[in-house]
Structure 1
Amino acid sequence: MRSGLAILLLILLSGYAYAQSDSSTTAVPDSTAASIHSSDTLIRYRINGVYLKSIWQDLKYTVARPAHWEKRDYIRLGVVAGVTGVLLAGDYGVKQFFTHHQSNFTTSVTDQIEPFGNAYSPYLVAGMYVAGVIAHDRNLEHGSLMAAKSLVISTVIYATLKSIVRRGRPTYYDSPFNFDPPFTNDKQHTSFPSGHSLTVMTVATAMAELYGKDHPWVPWVAYGIAGLTGVTRLYENRHWSSDVWVGLALGHFVTKSIFRHHRELEHKKAMKLLAVSL
């Protein structure tokens, strides 16, 4: 995953691109609708200090989001926490199930899916950027920049969490409750959360946000691949089921927050233009 992210960052920092929002428009009075177009509210980033600063701003926004949650957000948190608790109780049983259901065919299949959480996802984002630049496709460039930003921020949060919660991997321990003190360097205690699951879900959520409205099949395919990638981590005995679940949930939450922030910024821009035109 580190090599994939390094290549992604290198490509992104090697050229220029623009980021734009979804195709939604801000409602304005009839008298000013003719003078304010959806293109006027777009926020476009060039790969420079402004874009890098936006990554920091999005990181702060994402970390602070819980302070602005509404009732429905706490309900979702309760669902995530509840499922996490159930999986914690069943982690050992899930490990035993996959351990006793290995086959050459299944292994050959999981070997093809597992890289989606490691190499494929970062390379996909980098490939989108290159293709967008070559084809002069602003929408594709926008998608790559937003996905890249989501991937960088989710990785920062994931790495911080993993350095604090030093959970033993099922590869080395039978007990799902084997922990080391925070910030230790023992590689055997790097199980929580699943980085593969977080990475692939981050990119899957970005694809769903970018293309799901116009192509309803995209979220089904993207989230399906993300889920299967998580299953491969269980099959390969690299993570506990609760590691995978939290990784998926965290990647989804972070990416949703970043896209939400982008829409909010464009809404503020539209309101400023409206105020000036009145």
Structure 2
Amino acid sequence: MKIITAGIIIMLNTIIQPVCIAQKQSLVHDSIRFSETLIKKSSLKKAVKMPLFLITGGMLSYIDSDIIGRQEIAEERNENIPYFHTGADDYLQYTPLVFAYGIDLFGVEARHDLKTRTELLIKSELLMMLAVVPMKQLTHQLRPDGSNYSSFPSGHTAQAFVAATFLHKEYGHLSPWFSIGAYSVASSVGILRILNNRHFSSDVLVGAGIGILATNLVYFQAGHKRKQKYNMALSPSYNHGNLGLNFNLRF
């Protein structure tokens, strides 16, 4: 009888033990997957938080000129420095890019190799343009100087902040001064666009947000591409003569 009981106990252990181990492995796997999802969502939130704040502020100012006072800023500029003009902003918008590739010649290693970071930059530039160009056509906003109807948003500022964010992503981990310098240059481009009477403050805010957002999303996709935990698709659209951008992000 004792032999039979012992045999039953051994048999039950043989059956139950693998089940318990499988359940523990499943729980561990689920915990890891849940943690990865939280990290992923946290990373995405960090990538979009600041640029969406800038875009929202600019859009509100565009809709209601009393917010941030875009008309008042333009009037102050016309009263105090009506003849101010400089072409520096045409060149400063690309300065972070020149610097990023220039320091590579001195042996300063970027986060990614030359081929990879160039591909990321091209994708960021395309995404930025796919947002800026259709918005200019749709809003048809007259510039402060009355030269044309492509004021909103600022393309120069968007380009400057793509360049600044690119430098930040590739070299910011080495020293915060790379990021501080890059964003200072980009901010000066936005300020100069206002001082040159080419843009309202709302145009500059939205342009800055688009530049940062485009680059952040491209780098976010690149950072999670291997895990294949989500699908991101970007595609241009054309409807009744207007260019647009379709953006889909699925977890």
- TM-score interval, smaller chain: 0.5 to 0.7
- The answer (yes or no) to whether the contact 1:158–1:193 under 8 Å persists in 2 is yes
Higher strand fraction (1 or 2): 2
Please report how far the alpha carbon of residue 102 of structure 1 lies from its aligned counterpart in structure 2 after TM superposition.
2.3
- The answer (yes or no) to whether the contact 1:121–1:199 under 8 Å persists in 2 is no
Q: Which runs of 5+ in 1 are unaligned?
A: 1-68, 173-186, 270-278
Q: Which residue of 1 aligns with 2:142?
A: 168
Q: Which runs of 4+ in 1 moved over 4 A?
A: 69-76
Q: Any idea what the Cα deviations from partners look like across 1:158-179, whole Å, max 9, x if unmatched? A: 112211111111111xxxxxxx
Cα distance in 2, alignment partners of residues 189 and 77 from structure 1: 24
Q: Which residue of 2 aligns with 1:81?
A: 56
Return closer, same or farther for 1:79/1:193 CA change in 2, 3 Å cut-off: closer
Q: Which residue of 2 aligns with 1:250?
A: 210
Return closer, same or farther for 1:215/1:139 CA change in 2, 3 Å cut-off: farther
Q: Which moved more, 1:159-168 or 1:196-205?
A: 159-168
Q: Which residue of 1 aligns with 2:77?
A: 98
Q: Which residue of 2 aligns with 1:224?
A: 184
Q: Secondary structure at the match of 1:189?
A: coil
- Whether 1:156 aligns to 2:156 is no
- The answer (yes or no) to whether the contact 2:58–2:201 under 8 Å persists in 1 is no
Please report how far the alpha carbon of residue 203 of structure 1 lies from its aligned counterpart in structure 2 after TM superposition.
1.1
Q: Secondary structure at the match of 1:266?
A: coil
Cα distance in 2, alignment partners of residues 153 and 71 from structure 1: 19
Q: Secondary structure at the match of 1:100?
A: helix
Read off the aligned partner of 1:169 and give its amino acid letter. Answer: R
Cα distance in 2, alignment partners of residues 238 and 195 from structure 1: 11
Cα distance in 2, alignment partners of residues 156 and 72 from structure 1: 19
Q: Secondary structure at the match of 2:136?
A: helix
Q: Which residue of 2 aligns with 1:142?
A: 116
Q: Secondary structure at the match of 2:225?
A: helix
Return closer, same or farther for 1:116/1:71 CA change in 2, 3 Å cut-off: closer
The correspondence for 1:111, drawn from 87, 101, 104, is 87
Return closer, same or farther for 1:71/1:194 CA change in 2, 3 Å cut-off: closer
* 1:1-278 equivalences in 2 (<5 Å): 77=52, 80-82=55-57, 84-86=59-61, 88-89=65-66, 90-102=69-81, 107=85, 110-117=86-93, 120=94, 124=98, 128=101, 139-172=113-146, 188-268=148-228
- The answer (yes or no) to whether the contact 1:167–1:190 under 8 Å persists in 2 is yes
Instruction: Give the RMSD, CA atoms, in angstroms.
Output: 3.7
- The answer (yes or no) to whether the contact 1:170–1:239 under 8 Å persists in 2 is yes
Please report how far the alpha carbon of residue 139 of structure 1 lies from its aligned counterpart in structure 2 after TM superposition.
2.4
Q: Any idea what the Cα deviations from partners look like across 1:129-179, whole Å, max 9, x if unmatched? A: 9x77xxxx972343333222211221122112211111111111xxxxxxx
Q: Which runs of 5+ in 2 are unaligned?
A: 1-43, 230-251
Cα distance in 2, alignment partners of residues 75 and 113 from structure 1: 23
Read off the aligned partner of 1:100 and give its amino acid letter. Answer: E
Cα distance in 2, alignment partners of residues 248 and 226 from structure 1: 8
Over alpha carbons, which structure has the higher Rg? 2
Return closer, same or farther for 1:205/1:70 CA change in 2, 3 Å cut-off: closer
Please report how far the alpha carbon of residue 83 of structure 1 lies from its aligned counterpart in structure 2 after TM superposition.
5.4
Cα distance in 1, alignment partners of residues 160 and 130 from structure 2: 15
Q: Secondary structure at the match of 1:157?
A: helix
TM-score normalised by L of structure 2: 0.60
Please report how far the alpha carbon of residue 80 of structure 1 lies from its aligned counterpart in structure 2 after TM superposition.
4.1
Return closer, same or farther for 1:143/1:111 CA change in 2, 3 Å cut-off: same
